[in-house]
C-alpha cells in the first residue's frame, strides 16, 4: 500500500465514479481501478460495489475513508513542507521571545514612494518567514563598505554586483524600457521594439544611477541605438526629454511611483530586448540562519511574480 493508492481511493469515494476520479487526478481509469483493486487485495475486503450508475462504498469503504481522508491531507502538508517557514524566534535572556532582524540595502533605479514599498516588503516577509527585515536605499558607491562594516546584512540590487568578497544570488530578472516625456511620440505606446530606438536620441547621464548606465552600455554595444547625448547635469535632463524628444534606458520595477508625473516608462519587447538581473548580495561565509531563510523566501517570491512583472 502507498499514499498514491490511498489518494485514488479518496477520489473515487468523493466523486462516486472511477472516471471522475481519473479526471480529477489526471490519470487513466485503468490506473484508478488497478489501485483500488490492490488496496482491496491488501486488506482482503471490498471497498466499493460497482454498478452501471457508478460505484457505491461498502461499510468497509466508509470506515476506511474516515482514516484515509485525514491521512491524505496530512501527507500533502508534509509534501508541501517549506523549511523557510520555520519559526526562528528565540528566547531572550529576560524570557520573552525575540524575532531575528536583517538589514538590506536596495541598490536600484530611483523611484518615489520607496517607504511604502519597504513597509510592504517587510510586512510580506514577516508574514512568510517571521524575520523582521529593515530595507533602506543605499548608493552603489558605498554599498560594499556598508556590507563589510556590518551596517547591512545584504544588498538587493537591480543589475549584477561583482566583488570577490561577495556571494551574488540571482533571484530573477526585470524587463528594460525607455524613460520618456509623456507627450513623446513613443510615450503612449504599450511597448516599443529595439528597432524603434534608433529613431530618437538616447541620453547617457551621470545624473542617473550606475545600473541605468549599465543598461545603456549593453544596448550600445549591440549597435541598436541612434544618436547619443551625454547629459552632464540633472538640469539638462528635463530639456533633453521634453524639447529634444530624447529618452533614457531604464529597468522597469513592478512598484508604484517609479515614474514621476509627466513622464512614462515604456517596455522594450521583442527580439533584442534585454532583461536586468535582480540579485541578493552578501559577504561570503557570513550568513545567519535568518539570512538563509529570507534568501529562500525571496527566490520563491521573485520567481512567482517575475512573469507578471515583465507584463
Hey, how many other C-beta atoms are within 10 angstroms of the C-beta on 159? 22
Query: Could you tell me if 21 and 134 lie in one domain?
Result: no
10 Å CB burial of residue 150 (0-12, 13-18, 19+) is exposed
- Residue after which a domain boundary falls, among 81, 112, 140: 81
Shared domain check, 202 and 63: no
CB contact at 8 A, 252 and 192? no
Nearest-CA neighbor of 27 among 12, 42, 48, 44? Answer: 12
pLDDT higher than threshold 60 for residue 91: no
**Residue 25 within a domain:** yes
pLDDT of residue 32: 93
Distance CA 61, CA 46 (A): 7
Does the pLDDT of residue 192 top 60, yes or no? yes
Residues paired with 15 in a beta bridge = none
DSSP character at residue 215 = H
Both 254 and 289 in one domain: the answer is: no
Q: Which of 81, 114, 149 is where one domain is finished? A: 81
Do 262 and 193 fall within a single domain? yes
- Asked if residue 215 is part of any domain, the answer here is yes
Q: What is the pLDDT of residue 307?
A: 42
Read off the C-alpha cell for 178.
Answer: 525607455
CA dist 214 and 219 (Å) reads 9
Pairing of strands 154-158, 248-251: unpaired
Residues 266 and 190 in one domain: yes
Q: Is 22 within a domain?
A: yes
Q: How far apart are CA 47 and CA 41, in angstroms?
A: 10
**Same domain membership, residue 107 and residue 50:** no
Asked whether residue 27 falls in the same domain as residue 148, the answer is no
Backbone torsions φ then ψ of 245, nearest 5 degrees? 55, 40
Task: Decide: 204 and 213 in contact? Cβ < 8 Å.
Answer: yes
Q: Is 288 in a helix, a strand, or coil?
A: coil
Supply the pLDDT for residue 308: 40
Residue 107's domain is classified under what CATH number?
3.40.190.10
Residues 178 and 270 in one domain: yes
In this structure, the answer to whether residues 13 and 63 fall within a common structural domain is yes
Q: Tell whether 192 is covered by a domain.
A: yes
pTM of the model: 0.55
Which range marks the domain in which residue 16 is found? Answer: 3-81
Q: How many domains does the chain have?
A: 3
Please give the C-alpha separations between residue 127 and each of 78, 131, 303, 309, in angstroms, as whole numbers: 20, 8, 18, 22
Flag whether 94 is in a domain.
Answer: no
Task: Report the candidate in 140, 141, 149 with the shortest Cα–Cα distance to residue 103.
Answer: 149
In the predicted model, what is the mean pLDDT of the chain? 82
How much of the chain, in percent, has pLDDT values that exceed 70?
A: 83
- Is the domain of 24 the same as that of 55? yes
CATH number at residue 47: 1.10.10.10
Q: What is the mean pLDDT of residues 92-115?
A: 72
- The Cα–Cα gap between 228 and 99 comes to 51
Is 88 within the bounds of a domain?
no
Report d(CA 288, CA 225) in Å as an integer: 45
Q: Encode pLDDT of 108-132 as tens digits.
A: 766 666 777 788 888 888 877 788 8
Q: What pLDDT does residue 311 have?
A: 31
91 belongs to a structural domain: no
pLDDT band at 296, cuts 50/70/90? confident
**156 and 303 inside one domain:** yes
- Shared-domain flag, residues 287 and 145: yes
CB 246 within 8 A of CB 171: no
Specify the pairing of strand 275-283 against strand 166-181: antiparallel
Cα dihedral sign for 288, 293, 294, 299? positive
Does 207 reside within a domain? yes
Amino acid at each position: 500500500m502507498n499514499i498514491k493508492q490511498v489518494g485514488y481511493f479518496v477520489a473515487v469515494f468523493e466523486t462516486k465514479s472511477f472516471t471522475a476520479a481519473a479526471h480529477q487526478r489526471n490519470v487513466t481509469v485503468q490506473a484508478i481501478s488497478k489501485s483500488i483493486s490492490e488496496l482491496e487485495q491488501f486488506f482482503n475486503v471490498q471497498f466499493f460495489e460497482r454498478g452501471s450508475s457508478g460505484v457505491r462504498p461498502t461499510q468497509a469503504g466508509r470506515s476506511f475513508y474516515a482514516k484515509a481522508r485525514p491521512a491524505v491531507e496530512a501527507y500533502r502538508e508534509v509534501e508541501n513542507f517549506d523549511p523557510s517557514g520555520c519559526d526562528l524566534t528565540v528566547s531572550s535572556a529576560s524570557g520573552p521571545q525575540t524575532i531575528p532582524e536583517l538589514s538590506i540595502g536596495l541598490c536600484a533605479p530611483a523611484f518615489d514612494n520607496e517607504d511604502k514599498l519597504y513597509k510592504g516588503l517587510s510586512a510580506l516577509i514577516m508574514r512568510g518567514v517571521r524575520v523582521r527585515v529593515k530595507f533602506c536605499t543605499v548608493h552603489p558607491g558605498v554599498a560594499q563598505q556598508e556590507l563589510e562594516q556590518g551596517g547591512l546584512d545584504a544588498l538587493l540590487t537591480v543589475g549584477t554586483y561583482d566583488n570577490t568578497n561577495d556571494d551574488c544570488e540571482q533571484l530573477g530578472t526585470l524587463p528594460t524600457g525607455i524613460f520618456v516625456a509623456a507627450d513623446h511620440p513613443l510615450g503612449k505606446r504599450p511597448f516599443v521594439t529595439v528597432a524603434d530606438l534608433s529613431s530618437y536620441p538616447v541620453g547617457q547621464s551621470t545624473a542617473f544611477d550606475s545600473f541605468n548606465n549599465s543598461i545603456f552600455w549593453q544596448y550600445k554595444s549591440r549597435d541598436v541605438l541612434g544618436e547619443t547625448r551625454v547629459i552632464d547635469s540633472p538640469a539638462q535632463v528635463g530639456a533633453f526629454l521634453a524639447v529634444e524628444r530624447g529618452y533614457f534606458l531604464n529597468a522597469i520595477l513592478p512598484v508604484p511611483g517609479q515614474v514621476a508625473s509627466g513622464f512614462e516608462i515604456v517596455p522594450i519587447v521583442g527580439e533584442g530586448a534585454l532583461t536586468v538581473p535582480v540579485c541578493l548580495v552578501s559577504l561570503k561565509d557570513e550568513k545567519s540562519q535568518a539570512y538563509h531563510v529570507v534568501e529562500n523566501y525571496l527566490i520563491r517570491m521573485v520567481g512567482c511574480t517575475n512573469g507578471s512583472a515583465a507584463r
